[in-house]
Structure 1
Amino acid sequence: MNDLNLSIAVGDYDRMRPLFNGDVKIDGVDPVFLRLSPEEIFFRAFRHADFDVCELSLSSFAVKTANGDCPYVGIPVFPSRAFRHTSIYVRKDRGIDSPADLKGKRIGLPEYQLTANVWARALMEDEFGVAPRDVEWIRAGIEEPGRPEKIKLNLPPDVKLTDAPEGSTLSALLRNGDIDAMIGPRIPSCFGEANRVGWAFEDPRAAAMDYYRRTKIFPIMHIVGIRRDLAEAHPWLAATMVKAFSAAKSLCAERLGDTSATKVMLPFVEEQVHDTRKLMGDDYWSYGLNANRHVLETFLHHHHAQGLSPRKVDPEELFDPSTFESVVI
């Protein structure tokens, strides 16, 4: 019997490279890896279901799951996670000393439903009392004009969302002072003292660490999905993919902890790994439903409250049931 020949589209991350270079094999699968940007993967996946297995926006996936029209079924593998305290950029000449001062401001965003923006709005509301209805949202591409939402949205009537003038970009609007702030997953090119643009948090790393100590939430950005027809035709596939992605992540962590030669082009890696494990435990980048239930429940609560999903989705709905348990020896 021949192995399944599957296209697998994911970002070029360290936790994926053991799969790319063949150090970790996927049982019964002959993979063709496509290392693409998240924006390209998500656009092609949700518009045309181009890939057999791929990285997916958690927010877009939740929208499609709530609507009952998602072409993919998820597995509890989370290629991208990030604290979004660095995703809120502000003009430093507008009296914005903390996110609480964003109430009543004009805030740009590349897409309203981006996962990073869901988490940033949740942070603004839970921690600083700034609800989505309290600001005016301006939509545009960060560096290129004309960026549309990937999927159709039906937002609450009290959410004020308008498109930026034709030809505008968020970076230019923020640089010129036409908006007061921006939230998004990529740093705008206008960021820096020269343009009086900085983070909303004076020390976003310290703020994120404090947030984790209090909430135990390490925000999930992306999950992995398998085309639904494939998962149904091959019931073994979902669990097999979880096994392979988990093995790749474990090997990555082992290599990162090898201090004989730094594996990434960044000083103080050994110290940062030590500090991260002290704060978040050894398995700080956990996969699996049970280990991440509270993170997913928090996200899905805000996703529905922000008007993105028409009903509150339960975490179990996101994933193939075969991935809820694993073998124990």
Structure 2
Amino acid sequence: MTDLTLSIAMGNYDRTRAIVDGRVKIDGVDPVPMLLSPEEMFFRAFRHQAFDVSELSLSSYSISVARGDAHYVAVPVFLSRAFRHTSVYIRTDRGIERPEDLKGKKIGIAEYQLSANVWVRGILDEDFGIKPSDVTWVRGGMDTPGRPEKINVKLPSDVEVVAAPEGATLNGMLADGDIDGFIGPRWPRCFSEGHPHVGRLFTDSVDAAEDYYRRTQIFPIMHVLGIRRSIAEMHPWLPGALMKGFTQAKVLAQEALQDTSATKVTMPFVEDNLHRAQALMGSDPWTYGVGQNRHVLDRFLDYHHAQGLSPRRVQVDELFHPSTLEAYSL
């Protein structure tokens, strides 16, 4: 029997590396890996269905499910997760001392629908009373002028989203003080370069995230793995095979991280941070599967619908191929 040749677009992560280098075999699949940035993957996947299997934005995918036009069906492999208290950047010369001070401010965003932005808006609303309508959202490219939403969105009438001026970038506007802040998964270049008036809203983002986790038991999910729906219908064994293979690859990455004989990541304090995360979140902080993550997905889908991105409230089980909602045991 010949293996099924499939293009697989994903990020270059430790948790995907064993798929790329062949240490983990996906049953029945001859993979053609493509290691791409989220921006390129998502644009090509949602605009052109360019890949057989692709990492997908949870937010954009949820929009397509709610509208009934999803070209992909997801597997509960969460290739990107992050506490997004790191994602809110402010001008430090605008009197923004606490989240409540964002009211009435102009905040830059690359796309309104980004999963990171959904989480941040939800947290600002739920924990600090800042509603999306309390802010003017300025949409544009971070370092290149202009950036379209990968899927067109229709937002509530009380949410104001304006385009950045022609030729302007969000990084430049933040550096020059034309906007009061920025929210997004990537830090703005002016912050990384040490601009004297650009900082994070949550100055101790780790403490803020740990407090959030203790209260909610939520480790936010950003991305899922998607299979072109037509391929999944033709090969119903495939979603389970992908779930199995990507889970095995994650286990290998976690085992390497635990090996402290020589650090596998080019970063000091890896062992200390790993111990801190496991003390808070358990031995496997980065879980796959619906069961342990249903409450996380439910919270995201609540936010997503409340923010007007999904025209109806999507249910968790609608997101995933039925064969991945349960697993065998011995």
Structure 1 segments (4+ residues) deviating >4 Å: none
Query: What do you get for the CA RMSD once the two structures are aligned?
Result: 0.8
Contact 1:171/1:190 (8 A) holds in 2: yes
1:230 aligns with: 231
Q: Distance in 1 between matches of 2:98 and 2:327?
A: 44
What secondary structure is seen at the aligned counterpart in 2 of 1:194?
coil
2:252 aligns with: 251
2:280 aligns with: 279
CA offsets, 1:269-315, max 9 Å, x none? 11111111000001100000011000000000000000000000001
- Match status 1:160 vs 2:160: yes
CA offsets, 1:19-70, max 9 Å, x none? 1111110000000000000100000000010000010000000000000001
Deviation at 1:195, TM superposition (A): 3.7
One-letter amino acid of the counterpart of residue 293, structure 1: R
Q: Distance in 1 between matches of 2:118 and 2:208?
A: 18
One-letter amino acid of the counterpart of residue 47, structure 1: R
Q: Distance in 2 between matches of 1:25 and 1:290?
A: 25
CA offsets, 1:79-123, max 9 Å, x none? 000000010000000010111110111111000000010011111
One-letter amino acid of the counterpart of residue 179, structure 1: I
- Match status 1:123 vs 2:123: yes
One-letter amino acid of the counterpart of residue 101, structure 1: D
How many matched pairs? Answer: 329
Deviation at 1:193, TM superposition (A): 4.9
1:27 aligns with: 27
2:7 aligns with: 7
2:325 aligns with: 324
Contact 2:175/2:195 (8 A) holds in 1: no
2:189 aligns with: 189
Contact 1:175/1:195 (8 A) holds in 2: no
One-letter amino acid of the counterpart of residue 113, structure 2: Q
Q: Distance in 1 between matches of 2:274 and 2:172?
A: 37
CA offsets, 1:173-225, max 9 Å, x none? 11111111110111111116534000001211110111101111100000000
What secondary structure is seen at the aligned counterpart in 1 of 2:309?
coil
Contact 1:53/1:224 (8 A) holds in 2: yes
CA offsets, 1:145-195, max 9 Å, x none? 110101011100000011011011111111111111110111111116534
Q: Distance in 1 between matches of 2:203 and 2:243?
A: 38
TM-score, normalized by length of structure 2?
A: 0.99
TM-score, normalized by length of structure 1?
A: 0.99
What secondary structure is seen at the aligned counterpart in 2 of 1:231?
helix
Identical amino acids, percent of aligned pairs:
60
Q: Distance in 2 between matches of 1:38 and 1:20?
A: 17
